[in-house]
Amino acid sequence: MKWVENTIQNIKDTKTLVSLEDIRLSIFGKKGLITNEFIKLKELDGESKKERAKQINTSKQMLESALLEAKEKLTNLELEQKMNNEKIDTSLFKGNLSQTYGHPINITFDKIIDYFIGANFTISYGPLVEDDFHSFEALNLPKFHPARDMQDTFYFNDGMLLRPHTSPVQIRTMENKNLPIKIISPGAVFRRDYDITHSPMFHQVEGLVVDNGNGISFANLKHILEDFLKYMFGDIKIRFRSSFFPFTEPSAEVDISCIFCKGKGCRVCKNTGWLEVLGCGVVNNNVFNAVGLKDVSGYAFGLGVERFAMLLYEVNDLRSFFETDLRLLEQF
């Protein structure tokens, strides 16, 4: 079969995966050359049919291995080309030196912090490597609580851990006993999680307001969070859904009406019309007891910065925030 040799040569000469696929179809497709050979086989019989069938099968195998080899070669080549094209030479002078980009996470942090500074909060930071007492015990998270599970929290051999939330800063702030307390605490937190909405390191902003007496109530919390969320997301509806956190009682999760479909129901809000954006509540008395504060009242809240940034900038894979891809960052 003369065409077989020619076709094998064509396969070897092909420059792209697309044209390779065209050749494959011209051989093995419905009207392909090999398919045709098999059809023509029906016209023969006896010894000559057997002989011919053997020939076709040998050719078929030769063509298949030539295709496979070419596919491998071209795949590697295209990958190599792609890597070369996307390589960033950081030493290259790019012209416009004054152009800088904010990272979407930092921009979101700044916007959140701006609001709370405007509302007279101060900023506190806490250690990323924490102990059990500040991360769990003092926050009324008993020994058997699932949040302590090795599945969720990164532990070191000496019993220390990477904080899985910013709430330990609540405890460290209250330990100082300088009332009134009115802080937010931005920072990184760590959990054993990795998919399109989770990353092992992400960021939270914690809020804590505490003062003597029983003057600080859920109403204060509700007021400031509603004002804050309107500042962040504009004209939205807000609802408080009763929930549970060991360190607050009562507790709530706060939803905003979906900013993409305006509450009608879409893929992002899973057709509920609502998006969950933060957790909050009135500080549980057990927490005050753990730090030795008496006759005080307060509220606390915590939010995920990546979650806010994903909503504000319509980024649908959280992991892309950490890939330092200039094509994403240049949009900010």
Residue numbers at the binding site for ligand PHE (CB under 6 A):
165, 167, 206, 245, 248, 279-281, 300-302
User: Are the CB atoms for 254 and 276 separated by under 8 Å?
Assistant: yes
Distance CA 40, CA 34 (A): 10
Q: How far is the CB of 286 from ligand PHE (least distance, A)?
A: 14
Q: How far is the CB of 127 from ligand PHE (least distance, A)?
A: 16
Q: How far is the CB of 188 from ligand PHE (least distance, A)?
A: 13
What is the DSSP-derived secondary structure letter of residue 320? G
Q: How far is the CB of 184 from ligand PHE (least distance, A)?
A: 11
Kindly tell me which of 112 and 300 has the beta carbon lying closer to ligand PHE.
300
Kindly tell me which of 104 and 279 has the beta carbon lying closer to ligand PHE.
279
Please give the C-alpha separations between residue 148 and each of 81, 137, 190, in angstroms, as whole numbers: 47, 10, 12
Kindly tell me which of 37 and 206 has the beta carbon lying closer to ligand PHE.
206
Q: How far is the CB of 105 from ligand PHE (least distance, A)?
A: 17
- Rounded (10°) CA dihedral 156, 162, 167, 169: 90
Kindly tell me which of 211 and 276 has the beta carbon lying closer to ligand PHE.
276
Kindly tell me which of 140 and 257 has the beta carbon lying closer to ligand PHE.
140
Angle at which helix 46-86 crosses helix 17-28, to 10 degrees, equals 170
Residue nearest to ligand PHE (CB): 302
Residues 6+ apart with CB under 8 A from 2: none
User: Are the CB atoms for 166 and 160 separated by under 8 Å?
Assistant: no
